[in-house]
A and B are shown apart, each in its own frame.
Chain A
């Protein structure tokens, strides 16, 4: 290996605890009684259901079509009957339910027609579409639609394609086992990505605590005659963060404000490459994934699980020990606690860890920050976490942005080393979500204000014109009166008010016009405050609003992203383990 390695600053070395779950090969989870397939399993738009209760589906049939470009399709994991399309508890920190397709398997495993394709004979555009419709997303945990990452920047050629097999989270071994057992498919998948991006070099990064995986991948590369380079990288969390691995392998640092393709590099997880290959070369959409089941169980192991399988069914296979008190999805550094084991396995479910009070002791009490700087020393993004913490605590969100809170990848290194046991990541998530919601409120308020001002201006203009017209008419009347000759000579005290009444009517008209204008203004104001304006919207606009609302809701309940996921308009942070 002549590959020169770079290093990223910071990082920590928690106990890896990977050994128990790599003793057995990947197992097949038996078919569950019911599958609960959430429609929204990737970042971006939530797919719309294409099936109804009572319908028969085939294995691999699309049951949710991608909603726009930033979305990915969802498929029936097996053949059977759709029992319902309903809200079902999701594997998400919020524990909110999400729209899911409930399927009763018929046990026949009847596939849809699968057409193997050679990506080289297809237009790149078509390949991306196929990947989207096969539901290929980042399986490292970020579930970012892969096709959306497969376009090079307009001006920068892609120098490096990084394939991420680092798997730096403790406990997790699903990528390790996949590389050991299905290396050739991964290598072929990487070649697909390389061709789409026209990347010059393919670098496969694997932490050096997985020598078997490194060997298997090297063998596969040799056997297929590819020129990918398999590189063992030093084991240090979060070496498997996309940005960290890119840094280690290429020396490039991708800031939050840029896409990695702008720097001529792109990164995919090994499991993603594997599914991309299966999707194109075998016509098999993403209907299952490898899940590590480990922790406080008798039989830790990796399982190939159909998406939609209730976690309870998977967990039972490992025989949890008696003192198991909770379950985590994902690794112990970035994962979250599963509130309800009825939640199904989704594309983001890379690992299920049974926890006991022994394994994950309750957090010690939080103490004040002593500004020791330990957090800053380990932050892979070279932030000053304690400064962010002070500002987040003080709700000084402007300052948190000045100190680059959106560059934080929530890797948890800072919390890990903090002697005061401050849940720093929680504070950062809080600050981020506050900033997002304020941003949204501000946008809404700005829009309302603009609408209001527009109406106001129009109403005022109209009223002014009306007043002017009235005034002109009145003036014309008075001058007529003045011209009337006879009575003018017999000016009496009685005639005086009449004469004076003429200009008075004039003034009166203007005053009345003004009042009318004011009343109209007030009405307009009320209209702007009350959402009456929705009545005048076209059906199309209404639909759009409904769609936005739905997306917003779906985002909240997204199974993919930890709490406080950004609205699409903002940059979506790439998941460290992707």
Chain B
């Protein structure tokens, strides 16, 4: 429909504006990330962005869609940045590229492009790569590792050996392994206070990256780009289960705060479960979606085989979206008293 129709005035908004604000909201987290691991993360962001734009352009061309309109909508960049932030910062460049292309080409465009993908593309990228390349996806830089930018570039480019610089664990992982090795004789408090990698309330340094995401997320909420339902649901789901187990057995289970600020929890709460395309659309649905994703994340990261559970939890819940939406349709104006 190309004829101009009422309303003849429109709010100042566009998909691009929305996406750019999401990108802007990621900046505080990224800043903390740079402070923690160095500029390599910026490089990863660039690699992912480039791969996403190339993949997007290619698919748009194949599908015969207008290039500039869709390339400039910013949606591919959001996917790219989430991938770069979810992947280990020193992951080889091709891994990031494979993940990003997977997200853009398969998860997004093969399902119909912008607005049509039932699964969160960034989470598909994460899931595919952690299943296909589990070793590479678990190599996180050791804490306090001071590498020059050149060294980081070399590692990412695959020109320097990887093995000796990687500790291979995130704080979540370290806690899990520590508890497992301790076979019930080591308690969480001892672990957290004895190891250098744990900070004030979660992983040292990482807690501030998470805080950065929280800050950006709150800004998005204040700008009404995201609603409160999904993030709050996620945080509630994660904290509730974590809190219950922690109260029951504080020796073997970390406190909710630790879980909220570890791994991808904050990124997930404000930037993943809030993805409008693959998430629920009704208010109650968003609450249920977020809450269940939070619960599932906890179950996977504590009892499952993977260091973190956000990706699998979100993908699992993506599957349930049509059902949740169907059963949570709100009553309309004037029909609230009718069943």
Residue from B1, B9, B115, B335 within 8 A of A333 (CB atoms): B9
Contact across chains for A12 and B11 when beta carbons are under 8 A apart: yes
Interface string of B63-100 (1 = CB under 8 A from A): 00010011001010000000000000000000000000
What does DSSP make chain A's interface, helix, strand, loop or mixed?
loop
Interface string of A381-422 (1 = CB under 8 A from B): 111101100000000000000011001000010011111110
Residue from A8, A170, A373, A416 within 8 A of B281 (CB atoms): A373
Residue from A247, A332, A382 within 8 A of B9 (CB atoms): A332
Which residues of B, 1-40, contact A by the 8 Å Cβ criterion? 1, 4-11, 13-15, 17-18
Measured between beta carbons, the chain B residues less than 8 angstroms from A32 are none
Measured between beta carbons, the chain B residues less than 8 angstroms from A247 are 333
Interface status of B277 (Cβ within 8 A of chain A): yes
Interface string of A352-389 (1 = CB under 8 A from B): 00010000101111111111111010001111101100
- The closest CB in chain B to the CB of A376 belongs to B281
Contact across chains for B333 and A407 when beta carbons are under 8 A apart: yes
* Min distance, Cβ A385 to any Cβ of chain B, angstroms: 11
Residue from B5, B17, B329 within 8 A of A363 (CB atoms): B5
Q: Once bound together, how far apart are the Cα atoms of A559 and B231, in whole Å? A: 49
Contact across chains for A381 and B333 when beta carbons are under 8 A apart: yes
What does DSSP make chain B's interface, helix, strand, loop or mixed?
loop
Interface status of A283 (Cβ within 8 A of chain B): no
Measured between beta carbons, the chain B residues less than 8 angstroms from A332 are 6-9
Contact across chains for B114 and A368 when beta carbons are under 8 A apart: yes
Most chain-A Cβ atoms within 10 A of its Cβ — which of B5, B70, B329? B5
Measured between beta carbons, the chain B residues less than 8 angstroms from A360 are 4, 8-9
Contact across chains for B10 and A416 when beta carbons are under 8 A apart: yes
Query: Taking beta carbons and an 8 Å cutoff, which residues of A are in contact with B?
Result: 8-9, 12, 14-15, 170, 243, 247, 253-256, 258, 328, 332-337, 355, 360, 362-374, 376, 380-384, 386-387, 403-404, 407, 412, 415-421, 423, 425-426
Interface status of B339 (Cβ within 8 A of chain A): no
Q: Once bound together, how far apart are the Cα atoms of A420 and B329, in whole Å? A: 23
Q: Once bound together, how far apart are the Cα atoms of A34 and B315, in whole Å? A: 69
Contact across chains for B113 and A368 when beta carbons are under 8 A apart: yes
Residue from A15, A255, A369, A387 within 8 A of B335 (CB atoms): A255
26 interchain pairs, CB-CB under 8 A: A8-B333, A14-B11, A247-B333, A255-B333, A256-B334, A332-B9, A336-B6, A337-B4, A367-B14, A367-B69, A368-B113, A369-B115, A371-B276, A371-B281, A373-B227, A373-B276, A374-B13, A404-B335, A415-B7, A415-B10, A416-B10, A417-B13, A418-B10, A418-B13, A419-B18, A421-B14
Contact across chains for B115 and A371 when beta carbons are under 8 A apart: yes
Residue from B5, B18, B333 within 8 A of A243 (CB atoms): B333
Most chain-A Cβ atoms within 10 A of its Cβ — which of B9, B279, B330? B9
Interface status of B331 (Cβ within 8 A of chain A): yes
Measured between beta carbons, the chain A residues less than 8 angstroms from B17 are 419
* Min distance, Cβ A236 to any Cβ of chain B, angstroms: 14
Measured between beta carbons, the chain B residues less than 8 angstroms from A416 are 7, 9-11
Contact across chains for B332 and A371 when beta carbons are under 8 A apart: no
Measured between beta carbons, the chain A residues less than 8 angstroms from B6 are 332-336, 412, 415, 425
Measured between beta carbons, the chain A residues less than 8 angstroms from B116 are 368
Q: Once bound together, how far apart are the Cα atoms of A374 and B70, in whole Å? A: 20
- The closest CB in chain B to the CB of A334 belongs to B6
Known: A254-B334, A403-B329; 11 extra A-B contacts, CB below 8 A, are A9-B333, A170-B9, A255-B335, A337-B4, A360-B9, A368-B113, A370-B115, A381-B332, A382-B331, A382-B332, A420-B15
* Min distance, Cβ A40 to any Cβ of chain B, angstroms: 22
Number of interface residues of B (CB under 8 A): 37
Interface string of B298-339 (1 = CB under 8 A from A): 000000000000000000000000000000011111111000
Measured between beta carbons, the chain B residues less than 8 angstroms from A364 are 10, 14
Contact across chains for A258 and B334 when beta carbons are under 8 A apart: yes
Query: Taking beta carbons and an 8 Å cutoff, which residues of B are in contact with A?
Result: 1, 4-11, 13-15, 17-18, 66, 69-70, 73, 75, 113-116, 227, 276-277, 279, 281-282, 329-336
Residue from B8, B10, B113 within 8 A of A421 (CB atoms): B10
Q: Once bound together, how far apart are the Cα atoms of A247 and B332, in whole Å? A: 13
Residue from A336, A363, A417 within 8 A of B11 (CB atoms): A417
Q: Once bound together, how far apart are the Cα atoms of A335 and B334, in whole Å? A: 26
- The closest CB in chain A to the CB of B18 belongs to A419
Most chain-A Cβ atoms within 10 A of its Cβ — which of B15, B227, B281? B15
* Min distance, Cβ B221 to any Cβ of chain A, angstroms: 13
Measured between beta carbons, the chain B residues less than 8 angstroms from A366 are 1
Residue from B14, B18, B281 within 8 A of A386 (CB atoms): B281
Contact across chains for A255 and B11 when beta carbons are under 8 A apart: no
Residue from B8, B18, B281, B335 within 8 A of A355 (CB atoms): B8
* Min distance, Cβ A491 to any Cβ of chain B, angstroms: 83
Measured between beta carbons, the chain A residues less than 8 angstroms from B13 are 374, 417-419
- The closest CB in chain A to the CB of B4 belongs to A363
Q: Once bound together, how far apart are the Cα atoms of A190 and B69, in whole Å? A: 53
Measured between beta carbons, the chain B residues less than 8 angstroms from A335 are 6, 8
Contact across chains for A363 and B333 when beta carbons are under 8 A apart: no
Q: Once bound together, how far apart are the Cα atoms of A162 and B143, in whole Å? A: 69
Measured between beta carbons, the chain A residues less than 8 angstroms from B75 are 370
* Min distance, Cβ B64 to any Cβ of chain A, angstroms: 14
Most chain-A Cβ atoms within 10 A of its Cβ — which of B70, B73, B332? B332
The 3 closest A-B pairs by CB, nearest first: A255-B334, A412-B7, A368-B115
- The closest CB in chain B to the CB of A252 belongs to B334
Measured between beta carbons, the chain B residues less than 8 angstroms from A337 are 4
If A243-B334, A371-B277 touch, whether A15 touches B329 (CB-CB below 8 Å) is: no
Contact across chains for A367 and B18 when beta carbons are under 8 A apart: no
* Min distance, Cβ B140 to any Cβ of chain A, angstroms: 33
Q: Once bound together, how far apart are the Cα atoms of A366 and B332, in whole Å? A: 27
Contact across chains for A425 and B7 when beta carbons are under 8 A apart: yes
Q: Once bound together, how far apart are the Cα atoms of A334 and B335, in whole Å? A: 25
Contact across chains for B10 and A363 when beta carbons are under 8 A apart: yes
Measured between beta carbons, the chain A residues less than 8 angstroms from B70 are 367
Contact across chains for B282 and A426 when beta carbons are under 8 A apart: no
Most chain-A Cβ atoms within 10 A of its Cβ — which of B6, B18, B116, B279? B6
Q: Once bound together, how far apart are the Cα atoms of A369 and B5, in whole Å? A: 18
